[in-house]
């Protein structure tokens, strides 16, 4: 079965500026590729993603291009830095724009995202990784994504420290193990859902 994983880098840095978030996202996508997934990624900051909750806000909104890549993939990876204990504004914008999915549920109660897997990845120099993952996962499940078992990969350095994840000479063993586990589980779950999609809800029954 063909599995595609698409990663959204929600760093505030645009273009090819070195990014700890990109490093962690790249490691996770590489691990998924090791299980046969085709992978690609994009930096949200490189696109003019307008505020709003529709699929297309018009006036040059570039979210539709990213949304097509999300909908064409079986796995979505949302990678974000931590700022002031929160997910980045780019990550929040992604969740807000995905809200449009709720208006696309069909008459049988089937979301267009059913059968798609979502994974979060978080990096930063302050506490808050679990909080940020909880924010992302709650939003992603609300719009129909399925979350694989195991802890999402994250790294937090010394509070207010000067060493970033991208500067580490070696990936910490615990982070590497978490990447390996979630990558394996995500690809496996995507294949399971591809082979056996969710049944249509029996709406109207009480």
Q: What is the pLDDT of residues 159-178, one digit of tens each?
A: 777 789 999 999 999 999 99
Pairwise CA distance, residues 21 & 78, whole Å: 10
Contacts of 95 (CB under 8 A, 6+ apart): 135, 136, 139, 140
Domains and CATH numbers, the chain: 4-195 (3.40.50.360)
Across 44-57, average pLDDT: 96
Position 126 pLDDT exceeds 90: no
SS (H, E, C) 115-174: CCEEEEEEEECCCCHHHHHHHHHHHHHHCCCECCCCCCCEEECCCCCCCCHHHCCCCCHH
Position 206 pLDDT exceeds 60: no
């Amino acid at each position: 079965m063909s599995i595609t994983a698409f990663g959204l880098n929600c760093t505030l840095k645009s273009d090819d500026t070195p990014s700890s978030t990109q490093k962690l996202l790249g490691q996770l996508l590489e691990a998924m590729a090791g299980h046969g997934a085709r992978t690609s990624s994009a930096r949200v900051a490189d696109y003019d993603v307008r505020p709003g909750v529709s699929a297309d806000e018009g006036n040059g909104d570039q979210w539709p291009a990213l949304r097509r890549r999300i909908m064409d993939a079986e796995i979505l990876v949302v990678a974000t830095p931590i700022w002031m204990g929160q997910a980045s504004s780019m990550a929040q914008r992604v969740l807000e724009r995905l809200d449009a999915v709720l208006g696309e549920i069909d008459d049988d109660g089937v979301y267009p995202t059913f059968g798609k897997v979502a994974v979060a990845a978080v990096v930063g120099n302050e506490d808050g990784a679990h909080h940020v993952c909880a924010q992302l996962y709650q939003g992603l499940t609300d719009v129909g994504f399925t979350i694989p078992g195991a802890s999402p990969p994250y790294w937090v350095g010394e509070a207010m420290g000067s060493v970033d994840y991208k500067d580490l000479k070696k990936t910490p063993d615990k982070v590497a193990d978490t990447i390996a586990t979630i990558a394996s589980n995500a690809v496996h779950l995507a294949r399971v859902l591809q082979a056996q999609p969710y049944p249509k809800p029996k709406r109207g029954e009480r």
